[in-house]
Every structure is written in C-alpha cells, then in structure tokens.
Amino acid sequence: MSTELKNIFTPIKINTMEVRNRAVMPAMATGYGNPDSTVSDRLIAYLARRAKGGTGLIITEVCAIDPRGKGFGAEIGAWDDKFIPGLNKLADAVHAEGARIALQLHHAGRETFEGIAGAKPEAPSPIPSAVLNQACEQMSVDRIRTLVAAYASAAERAKKAGFDAVEVHGAHGYLPCQFLSPFSNARDDEYGGSDENRARFLLEIVAAVRESVGPDFAVIVRISGDEAIRKGFDLNFSKWLAPKLVGAGADAIHVSVGVYSTPGNLSIASMDTEEGFNLFRARTIKETVKVPVIGVGRIHDPRLGEQALARGDADMISFGRQHLTDPDFLNKAREGRHDDIRRCIACNQGCIERLMFEFKSATCVFNPDCGNEYKGEVQKAPDPKKVWIVGAGPAGVSAAMYAAKRGHNIEIFESGKEPGGQLLSASMPPHKEGLKQWFAWARKQLEAAGIRIQRGMNVTPEMIAQGRPDFVILAAGASPLVPAIPGIDGQSVVEARDVLLGKAQVAAPVAILGAGYVGMETADYLAAKGIPSVIIEMKQFPPVNAFTAHGYWLNKRIKEVGGRIELNSTVQRIEEKSVVFRRADGSEQTEPAATVILALGARPNNVLESYLKESNIPHSTVGDAKTPRRFIEAIHEGARAGREI
C-alpha cells in the first residue's frame, strides 16, 4: 500500500458501523432506477462496480420516502415494503465487494414537477422554486408529522433490507433544507420564524429515524454548511445546528454547500471552482461536534483527500464524480499508480447536466462504461480484424482503446503534426486544462496496447485500397465553418482555434462572431489577458446560458472585464476596423473591431465516406466527422464503434 495515503486507508467507525477506509462515494443521482421506483439491475451493477474499486462507504442516490417527494422520474423509493427486496439485492451486491452502504432518504419538496410527484409540489411555504418556478403548496402541520413518520419508516426498511446506515438528505435545497432556510420558509407557526422553529422539522426527522432504527444503527445527516445565496442561512447557522443534530441522533455530519439556485451551482461545482473549495466548512463543523464529519466539494485526487485528513479538515472524504470517471481510482492510488488514474475534470456534461437538462440517465464524458456495467465486460472478438482509424482526436482515440480491448489490430492515422483534434484548442481557455489530462491518460492506454499514432498522414482512397483494412473508423473531426459574409477574408479576420493555439495575434478591440462554447471560451481566454470582447450572436437566447455551472462562470468572467453579448444580431459585413450587424428591429450597428474572431460552427471532415460506401468497405463515422458536437458524443461514439467491431 502507498505509504503517502496512510490516513485515507485507515478504517473508521460510525456508531457501530466499521468502514474499511475514509473514502466515501456520496449520493449522486443517475436515473438508473426502474420506472416503478424499484431498484434496477443497472443500478446494482453500477454501485457494485464502485465498491469493487475500493471505496469504503457508498451512499446511494436519493431515495424517496414518499411518492410526492420524488425529484425525478426514475428515482428509487422506500415508502413501501414492496421496495425491500430490491434494496436488499443492492445492499448484498455492495457488501460482496467489501464496502458499506447507506440509503439516502430524500424528499424534493418544491424542487420537482407535478408530473413527477403526482401532485402539486409541497413545501414549507407556497414560495415557488427559484429555478424550476413551479407552483407549490404549503404543508399543514399534520402533513409535516406524516412525513416525519415516513422518514422513520423508510429508515426502518433500509435496516430490514440489510443496509449499514441511512443518510437524511438535509442539504441542497430539498425539503428539510427548505424548512431550515429563510430563503424558502416564511411560516409563522412552530416550524418557522426563528432558528429553533425552522430547525424543528429536520431535528424531528433525525429523532424519529433514530427511534425507528435503534441506538446501534448508523445515522448520517447531510447538510449545506452554507446556502451561499441571498436571504439563505450561512455557516454560523450550521455551526449552531450541527450539535443539535447530534443531540437528536446523528452519528455523522456530511457537510456540502449550496442549493439549486446558488450562483455557479456550488453543490456540484464545475471546473471553474478550486478543488477542495468547501473543506473549510467541514473543518468549521468538525470543531463543533465529536462525531465523524465528511468533507466534500470537488475532491478528485486521493492525495488532496489525504492532505485534508492530515490537516484535520474532516474525518472522511467524499470523492463524488471521480467515482464515475474511474471506479478503480482508489485501488490505483493504494498501489501508488496515480498517473494511471483517469481524472474527473468537473465538466458536469455527462452527469448532472445530462440528467437535469437533457432528461437522460447519467454517465461520464470520459468513461463510456459508466452506467453500462450491467452489459458486462468488453469481450475479445472471435475473429480479430485489421482496423484503420482516420483521426487521432477524442473520437478516434476512444475508438482505438475499445477496439484494442476486442483484440483487433489497430492503426491510427493523424493528418496533423500533433494528435488531439479539437481538444488541442479546447484545452487552452481558463480551467479547461483537465482535457489534456484525459488525453495524456488515453495515449498511455494506447501505448500499453502497443498502438502507435502515425502523424502527418492524410489517408486517401488509394491508401485504403492498397492497405486493405477490414474496417475503417472515420474520426477526422471538423473544420471551421466560413460563411459568405462580405469582408470575411480580410486580414483582421482570424479563426478562434488559431487564437487559442497562439497561431494568430489579437489586437483590441475584439469582436467574436458566435456565442457558442467556442466563442464564449475564446472570449474567456482573452478576458484572462485583460482583453474584453463583443460577441455577436444570431440566436435570440444565449447558446451558453448561466443555468449551467460552467456557463455561469463564463458569463461572469466575460462581463467582469467589460465584455458583452449582442443577441439576435446578424452580421452584414466586416470592414477594415469594424463589424456591421443588424439587430432584430432592423437597425444597423457598427462595432469597432481591430480583430474579428470567427466561431461560427464547423463542418464535418468526412470526404472518405462516399468512397467507403461505394467500395463496400465496412466502416463507421464518429464524432465531429459525423456532425460537429461535444466531447461526450465524440468519446462515446468512438467507444461504441470500437466495441461493436
């Protein structure tokens, strides 16, 4: 075992529950439950795989204690005895891999939709969610007491199902947190008005849960140490609350931060936020209680967790999204193989934002196996083939890794001097360096498989005819789109990619055409150098909005240096020192611009596709070569193509 991680791999007890190490997989919603809220084989395989990777304690995703408290359609439930058999299978699967498991008890309150909850969302007060803006109904005292009992009954079912602990979810703006906060609780009865009254609901839940499970069963409470929002409660309130939670029966406190409407979504912090940014709140709570405290907040490196434990910031460390990206990261760290860890970069693209904004089940951009564990391991092909991969960007490299797992003979051809494709420029804006880490990891996997990238090679039909591959994967990426705008070929006009790669000089003032991620991140890149940009966008609404965490920080940083976005505006022409665009009302605006940067989209590089079709050569087109999109589509399509050969 690596001696540098002696703290993190030290066992710990929560009440009578013995945990093999200090690493926690916190609750993260996946959407893997069955439509009837029972536990699915998919969820079991996913969590068992994380337990196999070496973590000590797994906390399930949210589990509804009442059908009206469901936050999303596939949320698992514990409001009836019918859920016990499935929960038992889940607990047994995690135990078989040596980990402990806790069931997270959840009620969304106002943070849900009527179509999901089956009735109007309920809350302490009839104040709609600041994010979802759904009308909600104020709970009666009788309803409050009913739900307190429901938490207790759900905890008892968890114990019967073989779980080692429960976690009461009192954080992130869900129902107990809504009661705690003046931001959402305007009651004037015994459940509102004062700190004591606003805390009453959560304290009653904890006490009822403790009574239902007995004195020896572990009860964890997750709180937001600070809501980090105007009119919300702060860390001083949580310092006051934590000892009372322990007095009510809590055996451990899990200290998160934020609610749904906290600017920048700190509850699931993006790459724009410093790693370990929330640990000081855990330390503050730890100073007020004598039970274990769990720290969380963008902690992806076991060495960072080790440092936090050594400092006394917390007693246990939650590694959230890192469990999605690399389920084996703890075992690798134990063996000292830190460079072999595939690291989460906190992009949120495949997990929480996919779940919340696309209404799809969660996965990971960089780990196509996440959520597909139930399908089994990649199997060797019975008849290994000669596979050519055209393009060594994210899609091509991903395809190569999975085709290699199948045992095929792989050759990769890259037309450029350096592999990486769009990733080379995409990793240059602030806080995007993590993309390089993934690509370096991926190249190590190729090297270990004996696969070499041939650079400066433009694959032609003649090469294919001579080389006679059995299968071709087209992953040649995309080229910038250059529309027919008068003046677009002027000397002051440059491509966004060239700016990010340092191939083009930029003089202020700057106009950027296109407010998608390429345009916005180029503006952010320039903002870091103190250069503001005017971004001109045809669409009526921002393509990169502030609802996503990364989008929030992008917009904030661009505005801080004086940048702005002109929406609903169509570029008419580019002049020597300006850009002329037309607003929606028909008026023309002339914007000074010594440099005009193009970020107007891309067109796929798929010229070989017609030849392959005409020649009846089996092939697959993936990533931007199919149609320009995001890294998640490129990496996952590449993986699927490689796996299916």
- Among 209, 104, 199, smallest CA distance to 148 is for 209
Gap between the Cα atoms of 1 and 49, Å rounded = 21
User: What is the Cα 13 distance to its own chain's centre?
Assistant: 30
The amino acid at residue 418 is: E
Gap between the Cα atoms of 267 and 26, Å rounded = 12
CA atoms within 13 A of residue 416's CA, in its CB half-sphere: 14
Give the dihedral sign, CA 69/75/77/82: positive
Residues comprising the chain, all counted: 645
Helix segments in 250-359, DSSP class H: 279-286, 302-311, 322-325, 329-334, 352-357
Q: Is 517 a catalytic residue?
A: no
Gap between the Cα atoms of 251 and 13, Å rounded = 10
* Residue 587 in tokens: 């008026």
Distances, alpha carbon 566 to alpha carbons 24, 556, 596, in Å: 45, 15, 14
237 within 8 A of 225, measured Cβ to Cβ: no
End-to-end Cα separation, the chain, in angstroms: 38
* Residue 406 in tokens: 């199948």
Hunting for tokens 């995309």 — which residue is that? 478
Q: Which residues contact 581 (CB under 8 A, 6 or more apart)?
A: 536, 566, 569, 570, 571, 572, 588, 589, 591
Q: Please pick, among 174, 191, 402, 552, the residue that the annotation labels catalytic.
A: 174
Gap between the Cα atoms of 407 and 391, Å rounded = 20
Gap between the Cα atoms of 243 and 482, Å rounded = 62
Element (H, E) at 238: helix 235-248
Cα-atom radius of gyration of the chain, to the nearest Å? Answer: 26
Whether the link from the prior residue into 509 is cis, omega within 30° of 0, is yes
Gap between the Cα atoms of 351 and 361, Å rounded = 8
Gap between the Cα atoms of 103 and 156, Å rounded = 11
Helix (H, G, I), strand (E, B) or coil at 12: strand
Helix segments in 271-343, DSSP class H: 279-286, 302-311, 322-325, 329-334
Gap between the Cα atoms of 484 and 474, Å rounded = 28
Helix (H, G, I), strand (E, B) or coil at 327: coil
Gap between the Cα atoms of 520 and 541, Å rounded = 14
Q: Residue 507 burial (CB < 10 Å; 0-12/13-18/19+)?
A: exposed
CA atoms within 13 A of residue 201's CA, in its CB half-sphere: 33
59 within 8 A of 27, measured Cβ to Cβ: yes
Find the helix packing angle between 517-527 and 549-560, rounded to 10°.
50
Residues classed as catalytic:
174
